[in-house]
Amino acid sequence: MNYQTKSLIAVLIVLTAMFAAACPERKSIADIESNTSKYLNKEVAVAGVVKDSYGINVPLTNIRGGVYKIDDGTGSIWIFTENSVPTKGARIGVKGRVQNGVNYNGKNYGLGIYENDRRFAGK
């Protein structure tokens, strides 16, 4: 192999390692609920099915947001978003920060996750 090929491979390995280190490991909701202090204010990833959703989305404005409950089979947790909420029954993956005593529109939802990123599962 020539020098350029070796350099390219080395750069790709370093970038892959950096990308993998930045992604939080997927956790079960039961683990988050049973070890709240371990995950509090930390970024986690969960995946499951949307069981409930409440949101607002005013067309042609930036007014949107809400809450939705996701269930992964081990438990359920409220997700808080500043984007539009997914529909009930959608299979999604969510990345965000775990917070305790989260309030939204004057209602306390207890343990929850503030959404940073969301992915929909393919069929």
Q: What is the pLDDT of residues 76-91, one digit of tens each?
A: 999 999 988 999 999 9
Band the pLDDT of 61: cuts 50, 70, 90: confident
pLDDT at residue 21, as a whole number = 47
Q: Distance of alpha carbon 109 from its chain centroid, rounded?
A: 17
In the predicted structure, residue 74 carries a pLDDT above the cut 90: yes
pLDDT at 46 over 50: yes
Q: Where do the domains of the chain lie?
A: 25-120
Residues contacting 65, CB < 8 A, separation 6+: 55, 56, 80, 81, 82, 83, 84, 85
- Region 9-26 average pLDDT: 62
CA atoms lying within 13 Å on the CB side of residue 37 = 0
In this structure, what is the dihedral angle of CA atoms 29, 33, 39, 45, given to the nearest 10 degrees? Answer: 10
**pLDDT at 77 (0 to 100):** 94
Rounded to the nearest integer, the mean pLDDT of the chain is: 82
Question: Which of 16, 24, 19 lies closest to 117, judged by CA?
Answer: 24
Q: What is the pLDDT of residue 15?
A: 58
Question: Is the whole model's pTM more than 0.75, yes or no?
Answer: no
CATH code assigned to 25-120: 2.40.50.140
| pLDDT at residue number 84 | 87
Q: What is the mean pLDDT of residues 14-33?
A: 69
